[in-house]
Structure 1
Amino acid sequence: MLTFCSDIHQREKRGKLLDHICKFVYWCGVTQTNSYYIMQALNQHEKEQKKIT
């Protein structure tokens, strides 16, 4: 399951990450607590994307 989730995460980073966040959370069975860390990761990803462009 972790490998599957990691694969989704890698693919979504190259695609529309925010559009699929709900699916990502659902597929990975993320708890309320862990969703905080996902949002932190999303925020970090967006910052890195802005640096690139």
Structure 2
Amino acid sequence: MTLEEQDGLNLTTNIVNCDPADVRIGMPVTVVFEQVEDVWLPLFEPSPARA
């Protein structure tokens, strides 16, 4: 995933709350956090306003 706010910064992450067949390159996503013990992991889900 490439962050829109910082060109050239790529992030390896998981897309959640979405069927894997629906994931596309360039798909707008929103960050969500999942707590695992004392660590919060950034995950991403499709943006509600996606086209």
**TM-score greater than 0.5 by the shorter chain:** no
Q: In proportion to residue count, which structure has more strand? A: 2
- TM-score normalised to the size of structure 1? 0.21
- TM-score normalised to the size of structure 2? 0.22
